[in-house]
């Protein structure tokens, strides 16, 4: 199963996927490209040592969504990789039709909270400030609704009384780095059904 990663920033989750693949821990799943809307994003550099290309794809003039031309550019770039699965790992733009229709049930997203709680930006901070005692991360199929779509798997992170926000961020990110490779591997094993 070929997969492509879309991200806008640091790419620590892309790194976790590449490392898991390099160590033979992704089963039949194989990363084939990393795409980013930000030409300067660190994520674009991460595939180099693994022979996985990083490609900047122009998103258009909007800040939080793709323009119609941007959408087409992404659809074409993904089709060119012949990917079976699109993994959103910190891609900071909302995806809608026709993008979603181009890859039905083939787009997954990683979110840093236990959905359906704390959707949107800053999921870790939202949970911390609300004062919940457990949070975590979620991988879900992408639907037209922000951070909606069927949940595939989650990982729980307890919040200790002594945790600072920074402590919690480290814990949630560590959980994400375990969860996302597990889900990608499982989807490849299950033939994406
Ligand atoms: C992750 O926390 C993910 O849940 C959210 O964006 C962050 C991306 O981090 N959607 P990174 O770029 O993979 O380090």
Ligand 1 center from residue 37 Cα (angstroms): 15
- Residue 192 pLDDT: 62
Ligand 1 center from residue 173 Cα (angstroms): 8
CATH architecture group of domain 2-189: 3-Layer(aba) Sandwich (3.40)
Q: What is the pTM of this model?
A: 0.96
CA–CA distance, 22 with 105 (Å, rounded to integer): 26
What residues does each domain of the chain span?
2-189
Pocket probe for ligand 1: among 45, 54, 89, 127, the residue whose CB has the most ligand atoms within 8 Å is 89
Strand duo 151-158 + 134-141: pairing: antiparallel
Q: Is 12 annotated as a binding residue?
A: yes
- Among 50, 53, 55, CA closest to 18: 50
pLDDT one digit per residue (tens) for the chain, 193 residues: 999 999 999 999 999 999 999 999 999 999 999 999 999 999 999 999 999 999 999 999 999 999 999 999 999 999 999 999 999 999 999 999 999 999 999 999 999 999 999 999 999 999 999 999 999 999 999 998 989 999 999 999 999 999 999 999 999 999 999 999 999 999 999 876 6
Strand duo 107-111 + 134-141: pairing: antiparallel
Ligand 1 nearest atom to the CA of residue 15, by list position: 13
């Amino acid at each position: 199963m070929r997969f492509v990663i879309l991200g806008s920033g640091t790419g620590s989750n892309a790194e976790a996927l590449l490392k898991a693949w390099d160590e033979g821990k992704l089963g039949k799943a194989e990363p084939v490209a990393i795409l980013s809307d930000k030409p300067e994003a660190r994520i674009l550099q991460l595939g180099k040592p693994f022979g996985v290309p990083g490609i900047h794809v122009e998103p258009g003039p909007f800040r939080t969504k793709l323009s119609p031309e941007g959408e087409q550019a992404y659809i074409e770039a993904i089709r060119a990789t012949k990917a079976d699965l699109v993994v959103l790992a910190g891609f900071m733009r909302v995806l809608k039709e026709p993008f979603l229709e181009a890859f039905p049930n083939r787009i997954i997203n990683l979110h840093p909270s236990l959905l359906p709680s704390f959707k949107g930006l800053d999921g870790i901070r939202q949970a911390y400030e609300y004062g919940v005692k457990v949070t975590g991360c979620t991988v879900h199929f992408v639907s037209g609704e922000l951070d909606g779509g069927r949940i595939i798997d989650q990982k729980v992170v307890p919040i200790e009384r002594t945790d600072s926000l920074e402590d919690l961020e480290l814990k949630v990110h560590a959980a994400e780095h375990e969860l996302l490779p597990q889900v990608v591997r499982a989807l490849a094993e299950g033939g994406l059904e």
